[in-house]
């Protein structure tokens, strides 16, 4: 793929992210929601081109890196170390229980076992950046229940 095409693709993705992010903020919605919609919209546009999947994966990795950076800005290293007990006591058991429960449900639907396995793990994941943004917007980030929620979401991020 030519450099000009990659640059144009980058511009489209960036413009969509900025535009939908600003629209979400103007509608008093989390900016992350705008970014998700931008990804869907950009995906539709890019689908019409013959774009190498490695390039799309690189853009996706770039986006995940920025989301994780935004998440890291929310916490100090000391806070993350303090949450490690919550992660071990609540996060990983929650993931295991959710995976097992989802796996049983998916198997009962008659799907192939490999599909059930993948769907079960996908069911156990959340987006910590979305959860943090929503808690911050609602003013619940300082409440006692927020720490376990954040610990579980972070453990799910680590599990991925």
Q: What is the pLDDT of residues 29-72, one digit of tens each?
A: 878 788 888 888 877 777 777 667 677 777 777 777 776 776 66
Of residues 23 and 151, more confidence is placed in: 23
**Residue 152, H or E segment:** helix 146-159
pLDDT in tens, 69-101: 766 666 677 777 777 777 777 778 888 898 999
The rounded distance, in Å, linking the Cα atoms of 12 and 135 is 30
Note the pLDDT of residue 110: 93
Note the pLDDT of residue 71: 66
| Nearest Cα to Cα of residue 13 among 160, 129, 68, 47 | 47
The pTM for the full model equals 0.52
Contact 13, 42 (CB under 8 A): yes
Contact 49, 5 (CB under 8 A): yes
Note the pLDDT of residue 2: 72
- Residue 143 CB contacts under 8 Å (≥ 6 apart), including other chains: none
């Amino acid at each position: 793929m030519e450099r000009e095409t990659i640059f144009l693709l980058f511009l489209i993705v960036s413009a969509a992210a900025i535009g939908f992010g600003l629209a979400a903020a103007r509608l008093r919605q989390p900016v992350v929601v705008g970014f998700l919609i931008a990804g869907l919209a950009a995906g539709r546009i890019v689908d019409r081109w013959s774009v190498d999947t490695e390039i799309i994966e690189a853009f996706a990795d770039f986006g995940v890196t920025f989301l994780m950076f935004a998440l890291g800005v929310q916490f100090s290293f000391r806070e993350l170390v303090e949450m490690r007990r919550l992660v071990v006591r609540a996060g990983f058991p929650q993931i295991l229980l959710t995976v097992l429960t989802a796996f049983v449900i998916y198997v009962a639907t008659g799907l192939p076992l490999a599909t059930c396995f993948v769907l079960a793990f996908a069911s156990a994941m959340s987006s910590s950046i979305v959860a943090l943004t929503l808690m911050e917007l609602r003013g619940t980030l300082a409440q006692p229940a927020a720490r376990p929620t954040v610990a579980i979401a972070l453990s799910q991020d680590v599990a991925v």
